Structure 1
Amino acid sequence: MSNGKAKSKAIIFGVGSFYEDRRINLNNEYNIIKFTDNNLNLWGTENNGIEIIPPNKIKDYEFDYIFIASSYDKEIKSQLIDMGIENNKIKSTNYYKSIIGENNPEVLISYVNTSFYVDLNKKITHGNNIESMIIRGVFNKLGYNFYSINHDTLFDDYNLCESYPRMVMGVEPNFPKLCNTYSKAIKIYYATGSYWEYQNCMIKKRTDEVNIKKNANIDYSRLVQPNKSAECADYIIQIGSNYTIQTYPEKLRKKIYLIRQSTFGYLNLDIGTKLTQYSKKDYMWFGSGGNILKGLDLVLEYFKNDSSVNLHIIGGPLENKFEKAYYEELYNTENIKYYGFIPISDSRILELANRCSFIIFPSCSEGMPGSVLNMMRLGLIPILSLSAAFDEIEKYGIVIHKLNVEGIGQAVRESKKIANSKEISKKFEKCYEFVKKNYNEKTFEEDFNRIISEIFKLNGIY
């Protein structure tokens, strides 16, 4: 926000989609006097009524900042410095700030900056976008100027804050760098999954099992770069369950505060519609990358050999070697259908959720998968590994106790008893009500505000 002051003059380097994603915010904060781009075909034309100039003409104009709106952030910065542009005038659009007062204390976050440029008139389709905006709002309400860089943005040469931040928070790879750069600040690691060493161990174990079984050579997928994020943090805010905490070395567990993630308020069970459309034989697997990590191999193997039930697979991408190893199950098995990626806001998600009775997710390492919680909002009954489960899973769904085909079979057999009972409609409603009440934007904000306020008090800040 401009706080009533004249807007700083800015030149924007880049006129493509990268800029368009950030256009509203930049236009609100700065007086954009020119655009520039390395594409000579654009020189002399206009973008939103503002001239696009060649880069070598930048120094002909008086400006306060030049913002790089391109994925070639590092290369363009080097280009500008070679041209003689002062370092302190060069800013990255991977950098964001929300200032509430000139002399207010500061916090510096490194997480997901694209959140601050989303079009709020459209349905948001990833939970971290909602949660980033809530985190910003909480800090502003607590009286802090909020500075943020994207979690993977190179920041060594950028002036990130006006003064030394009181707190730094984020995820790898930038969080350990922030800890080193601002060693006197309160340091909070924002963890969204299991401890990295546990996750890597499980990925290797499960992938090796699949490679032996399928005589394949599938690469390890979703390995986490070894890091000291948890060790260098003073506190850890963890999305997940008490099981997630147990994946950490014991000496680190006392640092951890659990937080309930949000779900999408536009997903709501219509019990009348569901009861006319659901099939007790239909199950859903809904996940992103890391096919073996998320147990897709196990459900494919089980459902291939149990034609009494149907499996609907949403998500991806499928890793090439995984797809080759499981081609028969994915494409030539009558009771298995693979849909590929479907945005969670798409009407097809609602259609499939109304058709399915259960969501099955035997992940070997998670925090708490948003896909599961959001499908529970649509009435699906969860069948989950402990890694993917919330703490009260037994009240609402079924635990997969063994991460093998036998464990999947045991859980599915248990689910068939629910499907054939008169209580299934109550289960649909119970799952919906539980998630709606406990995993929403308000509960995430309440949890985050409580945790941050407590951390400040522990450090003598009131």
Structure 2
Amino acid sequence: MLQQIIEMLKKQQTFVTIYERIFQRPILNIFNKKHNKSALISYSTYHFKKKNYTPHSNYQESVFMANALDELGYNVDIENNNRFSKLDLSKYDLIIGEGIPLFQAAATFSPAIRVFYATGSHPWQCNNASLGRLTDYFNKYKKLPLESLRINDYRWGIAANAADAIICIGNDYTISTFIDYGCKNIYRINPTYHTNNDFTNKSLEQIEKSRKTALWFGSYGLLHKGLDITIEAFSKRPDWTLHVCGHTSKEAYFLNNLPIGKNIYIHGFVNIESSKFKSIINDSCFVILPSCSEGIATSVITAMGRGGLIPIVSKQCGIDIGDFGIEIEELTCSSIIQTLDYCDSIETNTLLNNTEKSHHEATIKYSEYQYREKMKEYIHEITKKSTIS
């Protein structure tokens, strides 16, 4: 009952505003340093108040960014990205992040160097793609599950376009969404994921047993992330098994219209450190995500790194799948079914090799070390260029 009340209150904007103003005030000089320069991170104060938080890697990445700024000689303040800041933005040498404060800095002609930190594709591309999926859903089910979209305030896109530079989580496709809207000075960075040390390569027998089992793993915005067409496809392929892990209880209106067959298991939110998640990973061969817009889908990276699962993803997921993953060519049920047909044709030995490649890719490419070093390098390079110009 208490949890239901909390969830209900979270949907009330007035309550959220009051709560954030009391408990999520700006964090000033988080490292208590006396550097000669000051920087503002426009992202989330909450990320700095939760310790060892595993539901999403952006919590640890926020801390890594703050550490990089400190090492580069900045006093670091943190502000939430979803409202206008009452801080004096003219006092900062650098403002990095996303959302309303970055827009505010541009609108008020703050002298700070402005860096848009893109955790997804261009905000306007994201909005258009999400609304496109809503249209598809409405045409099929005559329902409008608005809570299952991923819609950004239009000012986020302005903040991106008005920035001096962009540090973008994603691959070449993700970056192209910014170029399409006229953005320049884009720096590509890979995200991290929550690693573990107990990964073991699967045997040929395990692959044979699990080769018709896939995991759909994602956060909120289930329509945006293609759960509807995934469930529809698997309902038409009862010889396959689908595990669904995500915040499904919060988007029941969306789910209630879908044909959930007996081969589809809705687990809801599952802690990645739990024995249940480990069991699902061990029983699966693939991780599937036909999302319409991402930076790099870290849920997929997590499944790759923790279980060696082979990615079945849309190009919009922002993941370079090399010769080990499978691309979903269109965001449709029929395209997913065609992909499953293709998976059926792959030899078991090849699947075994691809699971090893998938795990290796996640471990090497999406490490905490590469993120720390690249973030520090990019901030230094951007500020140096801006100072010279």
TM-score (norm 1): 0.74
Take 2:144 and 2:82, find their aligned partners in 1: how far apart are those partners? 30
Choose which of 196, 199, 202 in structure 1 pairs with 2:123.
196
Take 1:275 and 1:436, find their aligned partners in 2: how far apart are those partners? 24
Take 2:111 and 2:146, find their aligned partners in 1: how far apart are those partners? 40
Asked if the contact 2:214–2:284 (Cα under 8 Å) also holds between the matched residues in 1, the reply is yes
Equivalent residue runs for 1:383-422 within 5 Å: 383-390=312-319, 392-418=320-346, 420-422=347-349
**Structure 2 residues without counterparts, runs of 5 or longer:** 1-16
Asked if the contact 1:187–1:233 (Cα under 8 Å) also holds between the matched residues in 2, the reply is yes
Number of matched pairs: 366
Take 2:96 and 2:109, find their aligned partners in 1: how far apart are those partners? 11
Equivalent residue runs for 1:25-40 within 5 Å: none
Compared CA separation, residues 267 and 210, structure 1 to 2 (3 A): farther
Query: Looking at both structures, which has the greater relative contact order when contacts are Cα pairs under 8 Å and sequence separation is at least 6?
Result: 2
Q: CA deviation at 1:262?
A: 0.7
Asked if the contact 2:284–2:309 (Cα under 8 Å) also holds between the matched residues in 1, the reply is yes
Q: CA deviation at 1:196?
A: 2.0
Q: Does residue 339 of structure 1 match 2:267?
A: yes
User: Which piece of structure 1 moves more, 261-270 or 238-247?
Assistant: 261-270
Q: Which residue of 1 aligns with 2:46?
A: 114
Q: Which amino acid aligns with 2:176?
A: Q
Q: Which residue of 2 aligns with 1:304?
A: 235
Take 2:280 and 2:381, find their aligned partners in 1: how far apart are those partners? 42
Asked if the contact 2:314–2:331 (Cα under 8 Å) also holds between the matched residues in 1, the reply is yes
**Structure 1 residues without counterparts, runs of 5 or longer:** 1-69, 77-90
Q: Which residue of 1 aligns with 2:80?
A: 150
Q: Which residue of 1 aligns with 2:194?
A: 264
Take 1:196 and 1:129, find their aligned partners in 2: how far apart are those partners? 20
Q: Over aligned residue pairs, what C-alpha RMSD do you find?
A: 2.4
Compared CA separation, residues 248 and 102, structure 1 to 2 (3 A): closer
Q: Which residue of 2 aligns with 1:435?
A: 362
Asked if the contact 2:204–2:348 (Cα under 8 Å) also holds between the matched residues in 1, the reply is no
Asked if the contact 1:381–1:396 (Cα under 8 Å) also holds between the matched residues in 2, the reply is yes
- Give the 3-state SS of the residue equivalent to 1:97 in structure 2: coil
Take 2:53 and 2:251, find their aligned partners in 1: how far apart are those partners? 28
- Give the 3-state SS of the residue equivalent to 1:293 in structure 2: coil
Asked if the contact 1:274–1:354 (Cα under 8 Å) also holds between the matched residues in 2, the reply is no
Choose which of 192, 210, 235 in structure 1 pairs with 2:137.
210
Instruction: Work out which of the two has the higher radius of gyration on C-alpha atoms and give 1 or 2.
Output: 1
Choose which of 103, 110, 118 in structure 2 pairs with 1:183.
110
The ranges of structure 1 where at least 4 consecutive aligned residues each deviate by more than 6 angstroms after the TM superposition are none
Q: CA deviation at 1:457?
A: 2.1
Equivalent residue runs for 1:362-401 within 5 Å: 362-377=290-305, 378-390=307-319, 392-401=320-329
Asked if the contact 2:195–2:302 (Cα under 8 Å) also holds between the matched residues in 1, the reply is no
Compared CA separation, residues 375 and 73, structure 1 to 2 (3 A): closer
Q: Which amino acid aligns with 1:164?
A: K
Q: CA deviation at 1:256?
A: 1.4
Choose which of 7, 11, 19 in structure 2 pairs with 1:72.
19
- Give the 3-state SS of the residue equivalent to 2:348 in structure 1: coil
Asked if the contact 1:100–1:145 (Cα under 8 Å) also holds between the matched residues in 2, the reply is yes
Kindly provide the CA deviation profile for residues 201-244 of structure 1, in whole angstroms up to 9, marking residues without a partner as x.
Answer: 22222211221112334337222211211121110111111111
Q: Which residue of 1 aligns with 2:247?
A: 316
User: Which piece of structure 1 moves more, 295-304 or 178-187?
Assistant: 178-187
Q: Which residue of 1 aligns with 2:220?
A: 289
Q: CA deviation at 1:159?
A: 5.5
Asked if the contact 1:94–1:153 (Cα under 8 Å) also holds between the matched residues in 2, the reply is no
Q: Does residue 165 of structure 1 match 2:92?
A: yes
- Give the 3-state SS of the residue equivalent to 2:29 in structure 1: strand
Take 2:311 and 2:345, find their aligned partners in 1: how far apart are those partners? 14
Compared CA separation, residues 262 and 268, structure 1 to 2 (3 A): farther
Take 1:385 and 1:251, find their aligned partners in 2: how far apart are those partners? 21
The structure with more strand, counted as a fraction of residues: 1
Take 2:220 and 2:35, find their aligned partners in 1: how far apart are those partners? 44
Q: Which amino acid aligns with 2:172?
A: N
Take 2:102 and 2:371, find their aligned partners in 1: how far apart are those partners? 22
TM-score (norm 2): 0.87
- Give the 3-state SS of the residue equivalent to 2:256 in structure 1: helix
Compared CA separation, residues 300 and 71, structure 1 to 2 (3 A): same
Q: CA deviation at 1:345?
A: 2.3
Take 1:280 and 1:292, find their aligned partners in 2: how far apart are those partners? 26
Asked if the contact 1:381–1:397 (Cα under 8 Å) also holds between the matched residues in 2, the reply is yes
Choose which of 254, 257, 260 in structure 2 pairs with 1:325.
257
Q: CA deviation at 1:334?
A: 1.3
Compared CA separation, residues 203 and 123, structure 1 to 2 (3 A): closer
Q: Does residue 129 of structure 1 match 2:59?
A: yes
Asked if the contact 1:239–1:367 (Cα under 8 Å) also holds between the matched residues in 2, the reply is yes
Q: Which amino acid aligns with 1:284?
A: L
Compared CA separation, residues 124 and 402, structure 1 to 2 (3 A): closer
Q: Does residue 445 of structure 1 match 2:377?
A: no
Asked if the contact 1:267–1:374 (Cα under 8 Å) also holds between the matched residues in 2, the reply is no
Kindly provide the CA deviation profile for residues 143-188 of structure 1, in whole angstroms up to 9, marking residues without a partner as x.
Answer: 21111112235532x457xx82111011112221133446211100
Q: Which residue of 1 aligns with 2:385?
A: 458
Asked if the contact 1:96–1:113 (Cα under 8 Å) also holds between the matched residues in 2, the reply is no
